[in-house]
């Protein structure tokens, strides 16, 4: 769902000032969340937009939303004040946090032509995945704020309903995906996401349609999997592509993905990225959210 910001709310937000955030460990401090809420809920129609956002993420059939903050970005720029505003919006959904000590809350995702093309900062196709798939407590939400799209016109975001894709699989494939037989990636120096989970089941929930679908298509090429388990994962990858939606994020668009429902990725950037100055290349800012009261103190 794309959510436009009413003009009266935009006008009010431009005039408001939010204090710098404080962190409690790797989580946004509850005092900062309370300050932001007090200021933002005084703005006309803010609570209406917040309710629409929560429903888009957690209501029946939902799982992702794009807040259209482009008009605010044009006026405010995309610096600290704008990031505080975006943080205030998603703090109405869950607790913002950063699992990476190197980045205090927001993480830059730029474009590096010499990186692995399939990585988030690469230039190639970034296949369907959930972030931090190999953590015992992955982020409940992954969010991406678009500062600059690919100036050459590539890199649409792709999303797919993970549970809908699973439901289209054979019973045998679902049984294989529920086995603790999968692994991917490394795990070190991460905060607020539990411990390393290796091996793990792709279908990580006691009931169909619930829990994480712990999947990254990269495991098919970069992890040693048994043939039957690899075939089941490959079948899931094909169903995710079959059910995907895609769209181009514009400057100021803020994508929020409920990782318990949807997986995400990105089509390849347009060829010729090496000709684009670094300062003009695609730039996203990433922020994670932890659902549930009291999770701000989780380790």
Q: Is the predicted pLDDT of residue 207 greater than 90, yes or no?
A: no
Share of the chain above pLDDT 70, in %: 96
Q: What is the pTM of this model?
A: 0.94
Cα 166 to chain centroid, rounded: 20
What is the C-alpha separation between 172 and 179, in angstroms, rounded? 11
The pLDDT of residue 208: 63
Quick: pLDDT tens for 109-137: 999 999 889 889 999 999 999 999 999 99
Measured over the CA atoms of residue 45, residue 51, residue 57 and residue 62, the dihedral's sign is: negative
The pLDDT of residue 295: 37
The pLDDT of residue 299: 32
- Show the tokens assigned to 22: 């404080």
SS3 label, residue 262: strand
The pLDDT of residue 211: 87
Proportion of the chain in helix, strand, coil states, percent, rounded to 5: 30, 20, 45
Residues in CB range of 258: below 8 A, 6 or more apart: 57, 58, 62, 63, 64, 140, 141
Q: Is the predicted pLDDT of residue 296 greater than 50, yes or no?
A: no
Cα 175 to chain centroid, rounded: 27
Residues in CB range of 296: below 8 A, 6 or more apart: 24, 25, 27, 28, 29, 30, 95, 97, 290
Residue 2: count other Cβ atoms within 10 Å of its Cβ: 11
What is the C-alpha separation between 3 and 49, in angstroms, rounded? 8
What is the C-alpha separation between 141 and 55, in angstroms, rounded? 14
Q: Pick from 172, 169, 175, 188: which is nearest to 242 by CA?
A: 169
Please provide residue 129's backbone torsions phi and psi, each rounded to the nearest 5 degrees: -165, 165
């Amino acid at each position: 769902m794309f959510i436009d910001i009413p003009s009266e709310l935009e006008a009010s937000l431009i005039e408001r000032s939010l204090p710098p955030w404080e962190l409690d460990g790797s989580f946004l401090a509850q005092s900062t969340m309370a300050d932001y809420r007090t200021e933002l809920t005084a703005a006309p129609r803010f609570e209406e937009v917040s309710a629409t956002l929560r429903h888009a993420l957690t209501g029946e059939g939902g799982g992702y939303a794009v807040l259209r903050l482009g008009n605010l970005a044009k006026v405010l720029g995309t610096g600290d004040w704008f990031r505080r505003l975006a943080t205030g919006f998603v703090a109405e959904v869950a607790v913002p946090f950063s699992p990476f000590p190197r980045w205090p809350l927001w993480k830059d995702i730029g474009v590096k032509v010499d990186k692995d093309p399939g990585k988030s900062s690469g230039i190639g196709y970034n296949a369907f995945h959930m972030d931090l798939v190999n953590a015992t407590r992955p982020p409940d939400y992954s969010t991406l704020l678009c500062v600059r799209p690919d100036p050459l016109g590539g890199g649409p975001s792709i999303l797919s309903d993970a549970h809908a894709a699973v439901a289209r699989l054979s019973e045998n494939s679902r049984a294989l995906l529920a086995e603790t037989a999968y692994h991917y990636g490394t795990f070190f120096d991460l905060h607020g996401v539990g411990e390393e989970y290796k091996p793990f089941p792709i279908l990580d929930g006691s009931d169909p349609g619930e829990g994480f679908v712990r999947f990254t298509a990269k495991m098919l090429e970069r992890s040693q999997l048994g043939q039957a388990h690899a075939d089941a994962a490959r079948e899931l990858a094909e169903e995710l592509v079959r059910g995907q939606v895609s769209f181009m994020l514009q400057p100021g668009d803020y994508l929020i993905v409920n990782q318990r429902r949807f997986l995400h990725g990105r089509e390849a950037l347009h060829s010729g990225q090496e000709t684009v100055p670094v300062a003009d290349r695609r730039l996203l800012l990433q922020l994670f959210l932890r659902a549930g009261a009291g999770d701000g103190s989780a380790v």
